[in-house]
Amino acid sequence: MAIAPNSAEARDIAYHIHGQTDLKAHEEKGPKIISKGDGVRVYDEEGNEFIEGLAGLWSVSLGFTEQRLVDAATKQLETLPYYHTFAHKVAPPVIDLAEKLVGIAPGGLTKAVFQNSGSEAVDTAIKFVWYYHNAIDKPEKKKIIARVNAYHGTGVASASLTGLARMHAAFDLPVTDRVLRTDCPHYYRFGEDGESEEDFATRCADNLEKLILDEGPDTVAAFIAEPIMGAGGVLVPAATYFDKVQAVLKKYDILFIADEVICGFARTGEMWGSQTFGLKPDLLTCAKALSSSYLPISAVLVSEKVYEAIRDKSGELGGFGHGYTYSGHPVPAAVALETLKIYEERDIVQQVKNVAPAMQDGLRAFADHPLVGEVRGVGLIGGVEVVADKATKAPFEAADKVGPTIQGLAEKNGLLIRAMGDSIGFCPPLIIDRATIGDMLGRFAKTLDDALAWAEGEKLI
C-alpha cells in the first residue's frame, strides 16, 4: 500500500525510530497505527479489530479499558503529580505500594525499590548484587551467570545479561566480562537423544556447577533467571531443573535473582512464577503487569539479608549512590497500587486458574498440525514452535522468515501475537474469558492453515 505524503504513516517514517523493528524495512512498510483499545481488543486506524494475544508486550493484564486505573492516575495527578525519593522524601502512594508489594512477595523478600522499566529493574538488581558483595567484604564475588536465550532487557548491563544474539549484534555487547553464560533449560531443543527430561535438568545443573568451579566460586555473585523464558520463545524449564540449580547456588553461596518481569502477577497461575516453579530468590525484578502497563513502573524486591548489608554500607559511605528521577514517581505508583487492589478484589490468580486450561488445552490441540514441533506453556502464557520437520525437529532457515510470516498472517486474521524466531508467543490479558480464548484460538487455527498453504507454495516443507 502506497504511503500518502504527510500521512501519519509518512510522518512516523520521517521522524520516529522504532524499537525491535527492521528500520530499513520500516521505511517501506510503514507503521501499523493502533489507535484504540477495548478490553482485550485493540483497533487500528482503519477500524480493524484485533484480539491482543500478547497483551501489548506481555503486560496489559487488565485489558485496555480499566477505568479504575485511569481514575487512580487522574486523582494522583490532581493531588501531587510528581515527587521523588531522594534525601528521605517520598509521596504517600509509594509507601502504600511498597507495603502492598512486600505483602504479596514470595517469602523472605522484605523491601522494594522502584524504577520505570524492566531493564532498569535488572540494572538495579545487578548494582545491588555488586554493592552487597562489597558491603560484606567479598569484593571479588562479582560475576553474574545468565542463560542462553535469556531476556533481561536492553540497557547496557541488562542487555549484557540477555542471551539472545540479535540483542547484542552491532552493539558490542555484552559489555562486561562479569557476565557468564550457562545452558538454556529447554528440553525439546537441547535435550539429547535418549536423555530423559530429568537427566537433561541434571546435566544443566552439573554444567552450572562446573562453570562455577572453573571460574572460582569466590568470583561468582549471582545467577539470574526468568521462571519461564519469555522473549527467548516461551521456554518452560525442564522438570526438576530449578530444584537442582538452586541446590548448586546454595552450595556456593550465590544469590538468585528471579526476573519476574513477565511471570509476575498471576501470569503462570500463581501470583509469582517463583511459586509455580518453587524458587526462593534473594532478589526479584517485576514490571509490566505491576501497573497493567498503564504507566511505566518496575520494582526490585530484596531480601532482608541483602538490604541490611546495603543499608550498613550506605551508612558507612554517608549515602546510597543509586536512584532515578522517576524512582517512586507517585502517579505510576498510584496506578500500580490500584492494579494490585484489583488483583486482590477479583482474585486474579483464581481467574487465571479458571481460564488457563481453555488456552493450554486449546494450544496443545495444535500439536498435530503439520507445522508444529512443540506446544508449551503454563497459566496464561504459551508458545507454539513451528518446524520444517516434525520427526527430526529440524528448524526452518531463519532467512525463510516463517515465524514473522505467521505473525503477519495472524494480523490479517485479527490476532496480534509475537514471533520470536519460529516460536509464537501467546500472553493475553489476564481478564480474557473462555469465549474470547476460543475466538483467539480459532483465529490462530486459520493462521496456521494459511501458513501451511504458504509454506507449501514456497516449497519450504
Ligand X SMILES: Cc1ncc(COP(=O)(O)O)c(C=O)c1O
The footprint of ligand X (CB under 6 A) covers 57, 117-119, 122, 151-153, 226, 230-231, 259, 261-262, 287
Distance CA 380, CA 172 (A): 35
Cβ 162 to ligand X, closest distance in Å? Answer: 8
Specify the residue, 95 or 165, whose C-beta has the smaller distance to ligand X.
Answer: 165
Nearest C-alpha neighbor of 286 from the set 81, 122, 141, 422: 122
Question: How far, CA to CA in Å, does 445 sit from each of 41, 48, 407, 435, 454?
Answer: 18, 19, 13, 15, 14
Distance CA 11, CA 266 (A): 39
Cβ 442 to ligand X, closest distance in Å? Answer: 27
Cβ 449 to ligand X, closest distance in Å? Answer: 30
CB within 8 Å of 118: residues ≥ 6 apart: 152, 153, 158, 259, 261, 285, 287, 288, 298
Residue in the shown chain whose Cβ atom is closest to ligand X:
118
Specify the residue, 265 or 396, whose C-beta has the smaller distance to ligand X.
Answer: 265
Specify the residue, 225 or 451, whose C-beta has the smaller distance to ligand X.
Answer: 225
Cβ 352 to ligand X, closest distance in Å? Answer: 18
Cβ 179 to ligand X, closest distance in Å? Answer: 15
In sequence order, the β-bridge partners of residue 147 are 182
Neighbours of 88 (CB within 10 A): 5
Distance CA 461, CA 457 (A): 9
Specify the residue, 97 or 224, whose C-beta has the smaller distance to ligand X.
Answer: 224
Distance CA 104, CA 246 (A): 22
Cβ 313 to ligand X, closest distance in Å? Answer: 26
Specify the residue, 259 or 338, whose C-beta has the smaller distance to ligand X.
Answer: 259
Distance CA 32, CA 245 (A): 42
Rg (CA), the chain: 22
Specify the residue, 126 or 287, whose C-beta has the smaller distance to ligand X.
Answer: 287
